[in-house]
A and B are shown apart, each in its own frame.
Chain A
Amino acid sequence: MTHPTLAPEEPLLKVEDATIALRVGGRTMVSGVSFAVNRREVFGVVGESGSGKTLLTRTLFGLQDDARLTAGRVTFEGRTLPLEGYGAAVRGLLGHAIGYVPQDPFSSLNPSMRIGKQITEAIYLAKGWPMGAERTREAAIALMAEVGIPEPALAFDQYPDQFSGGMRQRIVFAIALSQEPKLLVADEPTTALDAITQRRVIEMMLDRSRRHGLAVILISHNLELLRQSVGRIAVLYGGQLLNIVPAADVGTHAAHPYTEALFACIPTREKALADIRSIPGEPVGAGFGTSGCAFASRCAYAEPVCLTAPLPLNAGITSGFSACLLGRGAQ
């Protein structure tokens, strides 16, 4: 059943002009970020360490205690969340409408609770016991089988430390899936895993998300991983949203200079060694503000205007967006 007031093209999550500041000191870390995630869309967020991508998403979903949303408008399923008491409002959506897969599978599971119990608990928290203990147990085992845990009935009674990192991330994902959210937020879900396991877990995650009709926000510092897994990518740098670009366009079409520079860093099969270039200079870190482009100091195309002009904001929530002051990458 669809929401009666919701037009079909209405995005699931709409973030407009989000500004995030630290609670202590009040320093603004992320400013003027706008984007929209459609139903069933896989949306990537990329940025270097310290670009503010984790701070942005954790604050947007009420999981960051030391930062808060100071300005902006967040709309989920057509309902605008109040800025006053935002954390409590968005936490009310966690656990049923929004699922969160944390960064590190090794410490994200309760070490003293059997994993089956952790899944049934998640089901219980999302829906109460609508189907009774035995049916819940069966649903949990079915989910474990679905995410690729061998012998799920046996695994049901085991503890987290009896599983490898890849298996634990699958369990974490099964827990998130069990609550049947509409939006799944995965924050660097595979960073702690080795390359092969990483690929398999991501593929499993995206495949199951598609099957369950979930929208996914995948946060990563790995542009190549995102380029191969998501539909659109939002590029963050210095707490600024610099670019929203279809993943297929990265490396093939003109994009924001920073996106192009990021892509130039990645070794791919098609590229000669000489074409792999690092970005000169050091990353600026989040909290750059909105006057001037945060990337200007390292940008090959930078002109004086880039250092002072106010950064264009993604006012239209269009599917593509480039914040380049010189108009590069604009569609």
Chain B
Amino acid sequence: MLRLLTLPKTNIERAAVILALIVILVAIIGPFVTPYDPMQISFRSKLLAPSSMHWFGTDGSGRDVLSRLLHGAQLTLSATFFVLIAGVVIGCTIGIFSAFVGGAADNALMRLADIWLGFPPLILALGFASALGASLQAAIWALVFSWWPNYARLSRMVTADILSQKFIASADALGVPLHRKVFRYVIPNAFDVLIVQVTLDISAVMLAISGLSFIGVGAQIPQPEWGAMIADGRSYVANGWWIVLAPGVAIFLTALAFNVIGDMLRRELDPTSRRR
């Protein structure tokens, strides 16, 4: 974590790291510092423009946009990280296993991943929504199911490359057992490649969750998820521009920050220029 602060080379990267840290901080403590209840409907105070009372104004049902934004940070980010962690765990388990066993099983698993990749996440999400009912959970599982093949393929490729290296043969000569080889030799050496991909995927997954919520198959409207907030606010754009602007800017800046960090990590952790 400390290393992350020493990596940025430009002001844009510094800004991205600071912004990402703020977003993560907000996601953690946001719900405890909100000025209002994000679900509290109040028709007397609906569609209020930003003011000292309501910094980001109120929406069509009189809910405080800032409070919803802070709560939404937690909802959106935790959903994003859940998708990524589940995708990485499922994908890497399959990918590493595949590379270790090789042969027909390897082939079968990778073709399965290929077929899975062919499913558009949107269609999968619509299917999940109709089966489980439209909810954030359905959208999350739809994304997990459409995201793991990426990590399966990536981790299989990286593992196969590591296994072909000579220090693995040396490990064999030292009598390193299989589980130790996976956790001490393969995963640490695959980590850099994976962390770059995960960081770059943060924004993509976040946009996908918000997008699914926006079209109505993800988080449902009173929930303060950023995409759902935009969907809720779009009918008031003419007389309440702040309702869509706040979550829109939040999505934009967060996605941008994680993309910049991803590119930075890719530059710094490139296997050809390691640790120097």
Contact = CB atoms under 8 A, between A and B. Distances in A.
Contacts, number: 66
Contacts of B189: 110-112
Contact of A104 (B166, B171, B184, B275): B166
Interface stretch (A7-15, A94-102, A145-153): A94-102
B146 to A, nearest CB: 31
A172 B171 CA distance: 11
A278 interface: no
A110 B175 contact: no
B270 interface: no
A109 B165 CA distance: 10
Given A96-B175, A161-B274, A172 B188 contact: no
A91 B172 contact: yes
Contacts of A112: 188-189, 191
A63 B168 CA distance: 11
B176 A111 contact: no
Contact of B176 (A99, A104, A125): A125
A172 to B, nearest CB: 7
A122 B167 CA distance: 13
Contacts of B170: 100, 102, 108-109, 172, 175
B265 to A, nearest CB: 16
Interface in B151-188: 165-167, 169-177, 180, 184-185, 188
Given A110-B184, A111-B189, A159-B275, A102 B166 contact: yes
Contact of B174 (A61, A104, A113, A175): A175
B172 A113 contact: no
A102 B175 contact: no
Given A107-B165, A107-B167, A108-B166, A102 B184 contact: no
A155 interface: no
Contacts of A122: 174
Nearest to A185: B173
A95 B275 contact: no
Contact of B166 (A107, A125, A175, A179): A107
Contacts of A77: none
Interface string A110-148: 111100000001100110000000000000000000000
Contacts of A102: 166, 169-170, 173
A125 B173 CA distance: 11
A110 B185 contact: yes
A99 B175 CA distance: 10
Nearest to B168: A110
Interface in A73-105: 91, 94-96, 99-100, 102-104
A94 B175 contact: yes
Given A99-B173, A113-B188, A125-B175, A161 B275 contact: yes
A121 B188 CA distance: 15
A323 B166 CA distance: 35
A95 B274 CA distance: 29
Interface centre among A91, A108, A110, by most chain B C-beta atoms within 10 angstroms, is A110
Given A126-B175, A159-B275, A161-B275, A63 B169 contact: yes
Given A102-B166, A113-B184, A63 B175 contact: no
A94 B172 contact: yes
Contact of B167 (A91, A108, A159): A108
A94 B174 contact: yes
A313 to B, nearest CB: 29
A326 B172 CA distance: 43
Contact of B175 (A91, A111, A161): A91
Interface of B: 165-167, 169-177, 180, 184-185, 188-189, 191, 274-276
Given A94-B172, A161-B275, A179-B174, 20 more contacts: A63-B172, A63-B173, A94-B174, A95-B175, A99-B173, A102-B169, A108-B166, A109-B167, A109-B170, A110-B167, A110-B185, A110-B189, A112-B191, A121-B174, A125-B174, A125-B175, A125-B176, A159-B275, A161-B276, A172-B170
7 contacts: A63-B169, A91-B175, A95-B175, A111-B189, A121-B174, A121-B180, A122-B174
**Sorted from nearest, which 4 A-B pairs have the closest CB atoms?**
A95-B175, A100-B173, A112-B188, A107-B166
